[in-house]
Amino acid sequence: MTGNPHRNQARTGITRRAFTVGMGAAGIVAGTAPFNVVRGQGAVLKVGVLLPRSGVQAGIGQDCQRGVEITNGILRDIGLPPLQIMNGDTESDPQIARAQAEKLINEGAQLLVGAFDSGQTTTIAQVAEQRGIPLVINIAAAPPITEQGYKFVFRNFPTAPVILMDAFANQKEVFQSSGATPKSVVFMHVNDTFGTAMQKGIGDIFPKADMPYKIVETIAYDPKARDLSVEVAKAKATGAEALLMVSRLNDAILLTRELIKQRWSPMAVLSMGPGWYEDQYLKTLGNLSDGPLSFVPWYDPNKKLSKALVAALAKAYPDVNVATNHIYTFEALLVAADAHKRAGSTDPKALADAIRKTNITDNVSPGPGIRFNEKGQNDKLSNSAIQNRGGKHVMVAPKAAANAKAEVPMKPYDKRG
């Protein structure tokens, strides 16, 4: 090139040096592009785990967290990619749950898991759907959550009607095997989203379930109640032989204390939700926690992954019994890791597509495995009946999986020393 170099520069706006640097940079970018794809595939999936870690459900939220803590070790053992967990605290409040979901997404969460409670899960599901981030529900039973036509919401937990149908079937089996059947019950339930969904479900299903008892009174109460003496006095006054319960943890403890104070030992406590089998319930009440029957989503002890989960939890938390909170929180994260591996990407849309095609047969919960229907619901789950005994749980129904016989009537509280 001849003539004034400055004139050439003015004409093209590019110097030879700039051109060379630009080409070099373009070459580096082009040359490493395939590695970018590889890096995208190998990137760790950021999972926002929303749980009630404080507030009235703190005990349960922290129990779910134990399921989170042991997950990456198990995933590694079965050849799934580990997850980067981002913790969010819903403070047991649906509106805070919504804000925390937004916050985790803004901070880079590519998938959400949570949130134990139906009310909190409902608000998180709305955020997940709006933002196009998959939500894998660990625990929440209110049916409407997967009836909204959401495309990014998936639930590997039975809905309230399924829990109830299985519960009534298992109750009949328990009464038959123990030889003791209550003729009347008082139905007490928390009046939150889950409790009212269960109450509605019982209203629909009970008349068709052909149960041997009648419900003589229904008592709704505030899950945040500081005092349940009036509720128990009212239930006792009906003269019912047993209690049918839909509870949370704190109220289950309060109710048990009130039963003892008011000198009432029902023939059975039949719980269709959390609370009565939780570790904190067992530890807080000691031998007074023995006896209640819980009809809940549990685990299949014969599955290979169940044994791995039991071993991992025993190693990390020797004093903690495996329970619903650990099982279904772990399985939600298992779904996330499995989808991440198959999608080969952390793109939320690709993850949602992969979750829709989930087919995990090596899992923990009872039933054929984890698969989602067109609504995002795993409708193949079944429930179990367990009883508290000596600070542990025994499975009393269904017969095929039972490892003990139900003790009904339960030992009166005043005869326990």
Partner 1 sequence: MTGLIYGLSALGLSVIFGVVRIVNFAHGEIMVVGMFGTLVLFRQFGVDPLLAMPFIAIILFGFGYLLQDWVIRRVAHLADHMQFLLMAAVAVMLIAVCLMVFKGDAQGVRVRYALDSFAIGSLIVDKVKVYAGVAALITSGALFAFFRYTDSGKAIRACGDNYVGALVVGLNVRRMFALTFGIGCACLGAAGAIMLLLIDVHPYLGPAYTLLAFTIVIVGGMGSLPGALLGGVLIGTSEALAGIILQPSLKTAFSFGLLILVLLFRPQGLLGRASR
Site of interaction with partner 1 (CB under 8 A):
53-56, 58-59, 62, 91, 191, 219-222, 224-231, 233-234, 250, 253-254, 257, 260-263, 280, 284, 288
Count of other CB atoms within 10 angstroms of residue 92: 26
Closest CA to 113 of 277, 340, 276, 322: 340
CB of 287 to partner 1, least distance (A): 12
CB of 410 to partner 1, least distance (A): 17
Distance CA 407, CA 265 (A): 14
CB of 294 to partner 1, least distance (A): 20
- Between 49 and 335, name the residue whose CB sits nearer to partner 1: 49
CB of 72 to partner 1, least distance (A): 23
Say which residues have a Cβ less than 8 Å from residue 210's Cβ, sequence separation at least 6. Answer: none
**Radius of gyration, alpha carbons of the chain:** 26
- Between 261 and 304, name the residue whose CB sits nearer to partner 1: 261
- Tell me if 122 sits within 8 A of 197, measured CB to CB: no
CB of 262 to partner 1, least distance (A): 5
- Between 341 and 416, name the residue whose CB sits nearer to partner 1: 416
Q: Where are the beta strands (DSSP E) in 40-142?
A: 45-51, 83-89, 111-114, 135-137
CB of 53 to partner 1, least distance (A): 6
Torsion of CA 206, 365, 133, 76, to 10 degrees: 170
- Between 43 and 220, name the residue whose CB sits nearer to partner 1: 220
- Between 142 and 351, name the residue whose CB sits nearer to partner 1: 142
CB of 50 to partner 1, least distance (A): 15
* Exposure b/e, 216-243, CB count within 10 A at least 16 = b: eeebebebebeebeebbeebbeeebbbb
Say which residues have a Cβ less than 8 Å from residue 224's Cβ, sequence separation at least 6. Answer: 56
- Between 280 and 377, name the residue whose CB sits nearer to partner 1: 280
Distance CA 175, CA 196 (A): 26
Q: Give the bridge partners for 84, in sequence order.
A: 46
Complete DSSP assignment for 363-402:
-SSSSS-B---TTSB-TT---EEEEEETTEEEEEESGGG-
CB of 245 to partner 1, least distance (A): 14
- Tell me if 370 sits within 8 A of 378, measured CB to CB: yes
- Between 258 and 300, name the residue whose CB sits nearer to partner 1: 258
Q: What angle do CA 143, 231, 254 make, to 5 degrees?
A: 80
- Between 95 and 262, name the residue whose CB sits nearer to partner 1: 262
3-state secondary structure of 23: helix
- Between 214 and 263, name the residue whose CB sits nearer to partner 1: 263
CB of 199 to partner 1, least distance (A): 11
